[in-house]
Amino acid sequence: MSQAPTPSTHALPSYLNADQLGPWGNYLKQVDRVTPYLGHLSRWVETLKRPKRILIVDVPIHLDDGTVAHFEGYRVQHNTSRGPGKGGVRFHQDVTLSEVMALSAWMSIKNAAVNVPYGGAKGGVRVDPKKLSLGELERVTRRYTSEIGIIIGPNKDIPAPDVNTNEQTMAWMMDTYSMNEGATATGVVTGKPVILGGSLGRRDATGRGVFTIGVEAAQRIGMEVRGARIAVQGFGNVGGIAARLFAEAGARIVAVQDHGGTICREAGLDVPALLEHVRLTGSVAGFAGADKMADDAFWSVSCDILIPAALESQITAANAGRITARMVIEGANGPTTPEADDILHERNVLVLPDVIANAGGVTVSYFEWVQDFSSFFWSEDDINARLVRIMKEAFAAVWQVAEENKVSLRTATFIVACKRILQARELRGLYP
């Protein structure tokens, strides 16, 4: 009798070998942990371990010097049982298929956790955008959009900004798709400029969600936000906005790290001044109102709340034991490895997982999509109020499941989300 494959190997697509699991392997471990809590729905669990559709495309463009360059692009649709695929597009030199697969799966979980009617998808191009001119970046964006145009659409799969992409990127994507379709299709992407059908409040939405979930959790564990000492990794639209909102609530931002370096100030950084410095220079490095510190020392900085808001796999078994915070709020996608998760749990550090903590962005993307379909737009106050209500309700449901099952908030979020996804799969059945 042959030996049964391990869960991770069983779910390993033929186009990846065991040494290439990467972030996808972390996601598979998370699914394995939640499976015992799924009851009769566990018979469908393989649905969660296999992306529905993967598209790998060549992205050739003319560079400014007249030569032709080729970049590799991806669009992965993990699951569409609950609605169209939804997830960002990132431009980064280290983008891999494993990463995009994992990010698409986490989008499935995130969308189900906050109960917006989307499945999960993600895209990326392996390119260093800092080495391209604005014209070259536009050509990469338009060619990539044309290549994945066969699987995206307002009712199929709706991209959004992610790492190194922004409102302008989405405007180019929307225009390219619309030109190919022969009609303006504002709903094909979210995170667009407001003048092109974007939503008020979208730019701050992910950071606002991080802040909202952090405040909700702090109340439940008896932590005062006013006076709390906070360390933030990543200072863009997520980390920077979350830092601003926490500072406005009376917290002290004592350390910040980004791609340019790490700075600290025990009395608290001037967040508005730091945001302006980053806008002008592109990094926190060289900020006059702070002291410089070694990058690795960031993980040992004395703080009450740590917000990793950069890239995945930043908190690992190598540094998790040095973290002093009582609470970790995951602003980035997948910033904590499963091994680090266990270490933090053993040390009674409350981890607010990405799949609920950073869901503010996709929630307001949902609002934008709805507004585009109706051509009726809400005020920013309405947007923020709806966002806070949905985030609070979602977190309350996750907290209740965590207490009932005596599991971590990550496992509880996966329980809530996976049940919703698999219930939809079961009810829809298999066709043909």
E strands, 162-293, are 229-233, 252-258, 261-264, 291-293
What is the Cα–Cα distance from 396 to 115, expressed in whole angstroms?
A: 13
Q: Which residues pair with residue 393 across a beta bridge?
A: none
SS3 category, 367: helix
72 half-sphere exposure, CB direction, 13 A CA radius: 9
Which of the following is catalytic: 49, 86, 110, 122? 122
Contact by Cβ (8 Å): 407, 37: yes
Q: Which residues pair with residue 263 across a beta bridge?
A: 256, 292
Q: Any catalytic annotation for residue 122? A: yes
Contacts of 1 (CB under 8 A, 6+ apart): none
What is the Cα–Cα distance from 153 to 302, expressed in whole angstroms?
A: 47
Contacts of 320 (CB under 8 A, 6+ apart): 336, 339, 340, 343, 344, 347
* Residue 74 φ/ψ, nearest 5 degrees: -135, 150
Helix or strand holding residue 253 (H, E):
strand 252-258
Return the active site residues.
122
